[in-house]
Amino acid sequence: MCVAKIGAAHGIQGEVRVKPFIENPNCLADLGILEDQSGKRQFEILSSRPQKTVLVIRFKGFLTRNDVEPLNGVELFVSRDVFPEIDTKDEFYQADLVGLVVESTTGELLGKVSGIYNFGAGDLVEIAPEHAPRFYVPFTKESIPVIDMDAGKLVAYLLPDAQDVDGEEEPD
């Protein structure tokens, strides 16, 4: 599961800004060794302190600004089993939604969840149809009214195509 993303270097002594993606950012160091997406590089947090919306972190083995500058943009991951199981039906980890089947409110198969993203204006569910381009749906109760983990699916409400008052499609 992606738990954070490394940003710019902070100062000259090997610290970096890190954007955490977990509920309690101060617990990032409690997750143990973090890895990059390939699993080839590992990162052990030596120190961490909050600064506005990020953490300023020092990783073991990175001593200077030159050491950490190439890390800008690296996403940090931990194994899913590090997190406890969730007992309620209304809570879940976003990573557990990836791979679920997506149906429309009319029962039409739309594709599968391929990711959950936030580009700055709220979370979006990326849906990957089998033979069409991927598209996004806002991750809100209105747009995703049903998440059924037991059935392995979620239901997405899609807005109808824009039409004018005569029922004809509006020109592009």
Distances (CA, A) of 145 to 7, 99, 110: 34, 18, 15
Residue 26: pLDDT over 50: yes
Q: Any idea how long the chain is?
A: 172
Measured distance CA(131)–CA(111) in Å, rounded: 9
Which tens digits make up the pLDDT trace of 112-143? 999 998 888 889 999 999 999 999 999 999 99
Residue 171 pLDDT class (50, 70, 90 cuts): low
E strand or H helix at 11, and its extent? none
pLDDT recorded at residue 82 = 84
Give this prediction's pTM.
Answer: 0.69
125 strand-pairing partners: 116, 137
Q: Which domains does the chain have, with CATH numbers?
A: 2-81 (2.40.30.60), 94-154 (2.30.30.240)
d(CA 126, CA 13): 39
Model confidence at 169: pLDDT above 70: no
How much is the mean pLDDT over the chain?
A: 89
pLDDT in tens, 27-64: 999 999 999 999 999 999 999 999 999 999 999 999 99
Paired tokens of 26: 């101060």
For 16-46, give the DSSP string: EEEEE-SSSGGGGGGG--EE-TTS-SEE-EE
